[in-house]
């Protein structure tokens, strides 16, 4: 639950940064005029309040959409297939940052990629469950799952 609120807060902060860049910094850089609108004018504008309400609602839905957990069934135990998992993460430029008996955490190697994803790039493998659970950003988790599928198919041939 803490992850959910942290991610929603980061997304709201991201939206604030975009507004500041578009309304204040970009006009100053290009030599244009900054808007002469006060916050009171913004708050009394119905379109702006609806737009901000939709962005706020999306900010609270975004963590539910963008992050996923996938149950990975294996033939055998995780220890038997550990090399396959490590090869899959190595293929996508991930490094192991934490390992405990019940979970392993992988993060991106590239500092720029980590910054671009607001340091929400970690992929966690939960070993305590019988089907291993891979959790993290949906895009990364599905890519890793597909690579693990391919590696397991190649290994069984």
CA distance 146 to 152: 10
CB atoms within 10 A of CB 11: 21
Residues 69-88: tens digit of each pLDDT: 999 988 888 888 899 999 99
Looking at the DSSP bridge assignments, the partners of residue 125 are: 104, 134
| Crossing angle for the helix pair 2-20 and 46-66, to the nearest 10 degrees | 140
**pLDDT for 32:** 72
pLDDT at 55 over 80: yes
> In terms of pLDDT, which residue wins out, 99 or 45?
99
Look over the chain and give the mean of its residue pLDDT values, rounded to a whole number. Answer: 88
Domains and CATH numbers, the chain: 2-65 (no CATH), 67-156 (3.30.310)
Q: Is the pLDDT of residue 96 over 90?
A: yes
The confidence score (pLDDT) of residue 26 equals 80
Write down the pLDDT at residue 99. Answer: 95
CA 86/CA 68 separation, integer angstroms: 20
pLDDT surpassing 90 at residue 42: no
- Give the pLDDT of residue 149: 92
The mean per-residue pLDDT over the stretch 34-51 comes to 81
Sheet holding 123-126, edge to edge: 67-72, 132-137, 123-126, 103-108, 94-100
Q: Report whether pLDDT(53) > 80.
A: yes
From CA 18, how far away is CA 156, in angstroms rounded?
A: 49
As beta bridge partners, residue 68 has 136
Residue with more model confidence, 97 or 23:
97
- The per-residue pLDDT for range 97-150, each reduced to its tens digit, is 999 999 999 999 999 988 888 888 899 999 987 799 999 999 999 999 999 999
Mean pLDDT value of segment 30-42: 76
CB 40 within 8 A of CB 153: no
């Amino acid at each position: 639950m803490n992850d959910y609120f942290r991610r929603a807060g980061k997304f709201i902060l991201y939206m604030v940064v975009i507004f500041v860049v578009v309304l204040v910094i970009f006009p100053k850089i290009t030599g244009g005029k900054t808007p002469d609108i006060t916050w009171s004018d913004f708050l009394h504008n119905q379109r702006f309040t609806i737009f901000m309400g939709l962005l706020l609602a999306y900010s609270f839905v975004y963590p539910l959409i963008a992050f996923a957990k996938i149950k990975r069934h294996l033939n055998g135990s995780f220890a038997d297939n550990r090399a396959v998992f490590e090869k899959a993460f190595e293929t996508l430029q991930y490094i192991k940052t934490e390992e405990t008996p019940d979970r392993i955490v992988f993060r991106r190697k590239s500092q720029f990629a980590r910054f671009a994803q607001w340091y929400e790039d970690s992929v966690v493998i939960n070993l305590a469950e019988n089907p291993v659970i891979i959790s993290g950003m949906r895009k990364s988790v599905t890519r890793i799952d597909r690579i693990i599928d391919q590696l397991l198919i190649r290994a069984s041939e």
